[in-house]
Amino acid sequence: MAKLHPELENKEFWYKDITLIPNRLPDFERDRVDLTTYFTKRLKLKTPFVSSPMDTVTEGEMAILMALLGGIGVIHYNFLTIDEQIEEAEKVKRFEAGFVFNPVVLSPQNTVKDVYDINDKYGFFSVPITEDGTLNSKLSGIVTHRDIRYRKDMETELKEVMTPREKLIVAKKLETVDKNDLQAANEILRKNNLDTLMIVDKDDKVVALVADSDIRKNEQFPLATKDENKQLRTFIAAESRFKIAKERIGKGYDAGLDGVIIDASVAFKEQLEIAKYCKENFPNLEIVLGNVDSAEMVEKILKEGSQHCDALKVGIGPGAACMTQQELGTGRAQASAVWECGEVVKKLEPKYGFIPIIADGGIKIPDIIGQDVAKPGDITKALALGAQTAMMGSLLAGLDESPGEKEFDYEENRMVKKYRGMGSTEAIEKRGALRYGIEKMKIRIPEGKVIKVPYRGSGYDFIPQLIAGVKQSLQKQGFKNIKELQEEADIRPI
Ligand code: XMP
């Protein structure tokens, strides 16, 4: 266990109140540091970063970024319908895959415009064409970007532009999918210089496809968080109300989801019931409960439902857009909460097994635009205090991959993006009311606010910097991995 300075014991402290003292003599470079960690009991990540389920932070695009770079994104549920949320999760599951099952298909009577619409929605152009536009009919051809890029008439039917079935090289299900042999499919793809390879069954119906761009992406992102089928992993958030969460989780499961965060600003008893239902009906889904911030709360949850809980999320009101502490006098300093919850989880490990902690919020507090810099050291502190991963909202909301447009802020003379608490009046007005358990109440007390965060450009540049920053801070202290950091960090007051 890390060493906590006696002056910090039984005190409230934030990340800014502590520092980590290097007392080893490092003899290795930053690149030797391995940040592999557990997000949940069974799910490993190579990067200990999680994006918050907030409607100005995580939809499909952010979840793809996070998963490609070794972390994971949790898709928010502040949509008008459950299906809209699930569509975002599907974007992630379809994005980079080995075998893409259930590919989107069209019929020969669909038009060039329909292909552009698919690209807008899912980000790809290659579409198998089947006789009736469903997977239940025979393959008729394929349309790729090459076939439509110079077409001006959007109403041209695809039968005019597609490469017809007789000219296609396809792979057999029996020889690829049935043997789970992705390599065999990749070889056919490469040997024939194809962009997309379709896999058909004995009736010539499409069962899956493999894309060349996916193979190249696999090579470009060695840290990527993927499932057994080489599809990116993603979680969704669901409300702590049984009836609606049940429908959401069922649909998410059908879409191939990896897990669910049962969300509430303060953990709610009904979560245990939902978690139990999930484990009984969808044993493959990983379930995260929260938020908690004290040893007592952790103990209560583990006592009643440790077998249904795969990770605990810690943090009540420390986030940049939070007002739970100011408005309701509820919550505490985040670093001490992570320490206390981490300690109790360790103490109870012999009884309940290993339960990872997610340090949620407060990684940095952007009060004055311009002075708001990324602080990888806060992430290292969260890990040293006992968290396995850090969940971030405001730090990621300024990236290109978060929902919403960047705009110029004349007061601050710089580009910004909007970031809003899910308990803000603005977010509650959409659907967020459920998260705060106040959907039936007429009087609403906002628990969050709307702020601006600096525009940070592409996450594909920003996240690698953050990873390097965390690695560098471990290296300075002489730790090669998170386990060593957690066992030996020397945590002192500033
Ligand atoms: P950061 O500091 O990374 O925090 O921006 C993100 C976390 O803040 C939580 N969150 C809220 N907490 N009122 C709150 O008290 C809110 O309106 C609110 N919205 C989000 C959430 O846990 C998120 O991951």
Pocket mutation for ligand 1, best pick of 15, 49, 54 (most atoms within 8 Å of C-beta): 54
Q: Which residue has the tokens 């970031």?
A: 419
Output the six-digit token pair for 10: 């039984």
Predicted TM-score of the model (pTM) = 0.83
pLDDT confidence band for 73 (50 / 70 / 90): very high
Element (H, E) at 238: strand 235-239
- Cα–Cα dist 96/468, whole Å: 24
Mean pLDDT of the chain: 91
pLDDT confidence band for 398 (50 / 70 / 90): very high
pLDDT digits (tens, 9 = 90+) for 404-431: 999 999 988 889 999 999 988 888 887 6
Share above pLDDT 90 across residues of the chain, in percent, rounded to a whole number: 72
pLDDT (0 to 100) of residue 433: 52
The phi and psi torsions of 360 (rounded to 5 degrees) equal -105, 110
pLDDT digits (tens, 9 = 90+) for 114-169: 999 998 887 788 999 999 999 999 999 999 988 998 888 999 999 999 999 999 99
Buried b (16+ CB within 10 A) or exposed e, 245-260: bbebbebbbebbbbbb
Count of CA atoms in the C-beta half-sphere (13 A) of 280: 8
pLDDT (0 to 100) of residue 57: 98
pLDDT (0 to 100) of residue 437: 56
pLDDT (0 to 100) of residue 38: 98
pLDDT (0 to 100) of residue 96: 63
pLDDT digits (tens, 9 = 90+) for 319-334: 888 888 888 889 999 9
pLDDT (0 to 100) of residue 22: 95
The CA 237 to ligand 1 mean position distance, Å, reads 13
pLDDT digits (tens, 9 = 90+) for 208-247: 999 887 777 777 899 999 998 888 999 999 999 999 999 9
pLDDT confidence band for 367 (50 / 70 / 90): very low
pLDDT (0 to 100) of residue 362: 92
Expressed in percent and rounded to 5, the helix, strand and coil fractions of the chain are 40, 20, 40
pLDDT digits (tens, 9 = 90+) for 253-284: 999 999 999 999 999 999 999 999 999 999 99
* Omega of the bond leading into 291 within 30 degrees of 0 (cis): yes
pLDDT digits (tens, 9 = 90+) for 452-475: 998 988 898 899 999 999 999 999
The phi and psi torsions of 190 (rounded to 5 degrees) equal -70, -45
pLDDT confidence band for 440 (50 / 70 / 90): low
The CA 267 to ligand 1 mean position distance, Å, reads 14
Q: Give Cβ neighbours of residue 13 (< 8 Å, ≥ 6 apart).
A: 333, 335, 336, 493
Asked if the model's pLDDT at residue 110 lies above 60, the reply is yes
* Average pLDDT of the residues in 299-309: 96
Tally of residues, the chain: 494
Minimal-distance CA residue to ligand 1 atom 18: 421
The CA 360 to ligand 1 mean position distance, Å, reads 8
Pocket mutation for ligand 1, best pick of 322, 379, 419 (most atoms within 8 Å of C-beta): 322
Q: Which atom of ligand 1 is nearest to the CA of 318?
A: 2
Any idea which residues carry the catalytic annotation?
322, 435
The runs of H, that is alpha helices, within 132-205 are 145-148, 158-161, 182-191
Q: Which atom of ligand 1 is nearest to the CA of 424?
A: 17
Of 224, 228, 235, 120, the closest CA to residue 180 belongs to: 228
The CA 435 to ligand 1 mean position distance, Å, reads 12
Of 406, 417, 448, the closest CA to residue 430 belongs to: 448
Ligand 1-lining residues (CB < 6 angstroms): 52, 54, 265, 315, 317, 319-324, 360-363, 391-395, 421-424, 447-448
